[in-house]
A and B are shown apart, each in its own frame.
Chain A
Amino acid sequence: MSKRHLLALYGNFEEAEAVVQELRNATIKGFDVNDDMIVKSPIEHPEVERFLGDKPVYVQWFTLVGALLGGILGFSLISGAQANFYMQLKGGKPIVPFPPNFVLTYEMFILGGVFITILGFLICAGLPAKRSPLYSTKVSVDNIAILVEADESAISELKAIFTKHKALEIQEEAGK
């Protein structure tokens, strides 16, 4: 069955939360509340996470890998260059001195951590992204949007829930 999108706008979080609760409690055929619903908000809102439930974030794993890779790569490059001791006369001093190398390793650790964290962010947040099928610029002002994707048959039921909770505006994707 073909899927369609529906977007409802709300003026406050309490109302949006009530809608999400009702969508969770209702059993609507052709609509999965966990996979088919996106909440859009103008600010970073802890309430959104509370009512949507905990969802995992994997950015910190990218950070760990990036920082470790940066540190290891930094130390290896420096030590590799220093180990070319035929080129660099050491005069009896250590070929690979640890204390000064620590400084550059530390810098590379941070550099790798930051760069790969950004990469992780882009991957995990799905950015760069194409514009959603339904979007309202009011989300970048003060509205909360609930975007759902559902089978054709579920649309009227979802619309009824949105209307019941006094949605400020409902946008509907044209049927295919």
Chain B
Amino acid sequence: MKDIREDIAWAKINQDVMKSLENPRKLYWVILFLALAAFGFGVGCEIYQYRTGMGVENVNNPQVWGLYIATFIFWIGMSHSGTLLSAILHLMHADWRKPIYRFAEAMTTFSLMTAGLFVMVHIGRLWQFYYSLPYPNDRGIWPNFQSPLLWDAMAIFTYLSSSVLFLFVGMIPDLAIARDNMQPGWRQKLYTLLALGWEGTDRQWRNFRVTYLTIACFLIPLAVSVHSIVASDFAMSQQPGWHVTSFPPYFVAGALYSGCAAIITLFIILRYVFRFETYMTLPILKKIVRLTFAIAMVWTYLNAVEFAAVWYSHDEASKAVLIQKMTGTYAPFWWGMIFCGSVVPLVFAFKRFQTNIPVLFAVSLLLNLGMWLERWMIVAPTFSHGYYPWTWDHEQWPSLVAWGMVFASFGWFTLLFMIFCKVFPSVSMYEVKEMVYHRTLHLKKSENAEQGAH
């Protein structure tokens, strides 16, 4: 299995990555078109819902905005692995992160931006969105600082802004490379502006290292807090099926899981579309796959803990929701979640599949399907089977308008992500050079040690 070669010329690294900004394979345009079409369809659905009212969603009380919020949680979860893994692996000096962290961090940013859309969409009355902004005001609506929903808004804002800054700071040296190697035009102007006059001086590198490390240290607890707080939106309510102590770690594990699965999907797409076979190598993919497998097992365990906690708690209402999930209207989706989330990842345990790209691509999509179902199975069954039997309604099914917006979110995310990868270097050039340099040094040291032994 080929890994990044130690003898690769640094000029070639620049050349290859810069080429990706100009000349992707045709599939890039196909993906972009499909994403645009999906997003356009969703915009149409939103306009229709905006003009007609939330009734077009085809769900009423007790379901209300379940589908939208489930999708919101999915995108928040998806955002987790990018920046969090990048920060953790940076602190651990894991060299293999270097060719893949940039797109993973971009994934975080765009997932959060996608999630934010659903906060607005689920309100229905978009024109009153500003009512939900948490600031004391003369309308007499005082923000409830004890509400996890408010914590959520603050945590997501902090995570989004910090992730964008982390992504930007890490990209400055590469923007300078792009500035120096690009033909005059709008791109060069953009890179010149964003590179901030970076020249790689010793002073710049010294401060850069400390800054990057410091932000990485902040981002790890921040990322954990974000999804713990999203979990608290549910766990701190008294609803059956939501009032579970293990929800925060369960949500964090789920978030990491879906994020890792998405990294595999995007890794495979970028590797092909931008001809990054030299940098996004199979040994790196193998490492991500193993990490995903480990997280999948943690998620499976936490699922079991949650079910056991509900089952043995003797809380009849919660137990009824669990039984409803397993045997009622939602059973196919609930079992689908178990299958996709706990059974499918077992494929990763087999060595021969750990680098089989078609299998990994299919599996990573199934994992994320499972993770989306997980979020839906957290939200919808509790709504449809709450404390009061007269509110039970298991038969409501969201309309095409609602599903349209869910699908559109994938289009919106893909659109942003693919445009980013075409405009900015999605493989970190300077860090790949560092990786190659460290390997060369390591190789030299081993050779010297061997010679010394003889």
Contact = CB atoms under 8 A, between A and B. Distances in A.
A96 to B, nearest CB: 9
A130 B214 CA distance: 26
A38 B201 contact: yes
Nearest to B194: A128
Contacts of B403: none
A110 B221 contact: yes
Contact of B161 (A39, A111, A128): A111
Given A44-B209, A110-B222, A125-B204, A141 B14 contact: yes
A18 interface: no
A120 interface: yes
Given A43-B430, A114-B165, A118-B169, A55 B196 contact: no
B211 A42 contact: no
Given A81-B145, A140-B14, A110 B162 contact: yes
B145 A104 contact: yes
Interface string A120-136: 11101111111110010
B10 A117 contact: no
B328 interface: no
A157 interface: no
Contacts of B205: 41, 44-45, 48
The secondary structure that dominates the B interface is: helix
A100 B225 CA distance: 13
A175 interface: no
Contact of A88 (B142, B206, B219): B142
Task: Give the contact-size bracket for chain A.
Answer: 35 or more
A107 interface: yes
Contacts of B206: 49, 55, 57, 125
B176 A140 contact: yes
A111 B162 contact: yes
Interface in B142-173: 142-143, 145-146, 150-151, 154-155, 157-158, 161-162, 165-166, 169, 172
Contacts of A52: 202
Contacts of A127: 172, 196-198, 204
Contacts of B92: none
A80 to B, nearest CB: 9
B200 A139 contact: yes
B200 A140 contact: yes
Contact of B199 (A48, A111, A121, A139): A139
A36 interface: no
A55 B225 CA distance: 35
A59 B145 contact: no
A107 B151 contact: yes
Interface centre among A63, A101, A107, A118 (most CB of B within 10 A): A107
B207 interface: yes
Contact of B225 (A106, A115, A124): A106
Given A39-B201, A111-B161, A118-B169, 16 more contacts: A38-B203, A41-B202, A49-B202, A57-B210, A81-B136, A87-B142, A103-B229, A111-B162, A118-B165, A118-B215, A125-B204, A125-B207, A125-B211, A127-B197, A131-B197, A137-B181
Which 5 residue pairs spanning A and B have beta carbons closest together?
A: A129-B197, A142-B10, A137-B180, A121-B211, A125-B207
Interface of A: 38-45, 48-49, 52, 55, 57, 59-60, 63, 78, 81-82, 84, 87-88, 97, 100-101, 103-104, 106-108, 110-111, 113-115, 117-118, 120-122, 124-132, 135, 137, 139-142
23 contacts: A38-B202, A40-B201, A41-B205, A43-B431, A43-B433, A45-B205, A55-B206, A87-B142, A107-B222, A111-B157, A114-B219, A117-B218, A118-B169, A118-B211, A121-B169, A130-B197, A132-B199, A137-B180, A137-B181, A140-B177, A140-B200, A141-B10, A141-B14
Interface of B: 9-11, 14, 136, 140, 142-143, 145-146, 150-151, 154-155, 157-158, 161-162, 165-166, 169, 172, 176-177, 180-181, 196-211, 214-215, 218-219, 221-222, 225, 229, 430-431, 433-434, 437
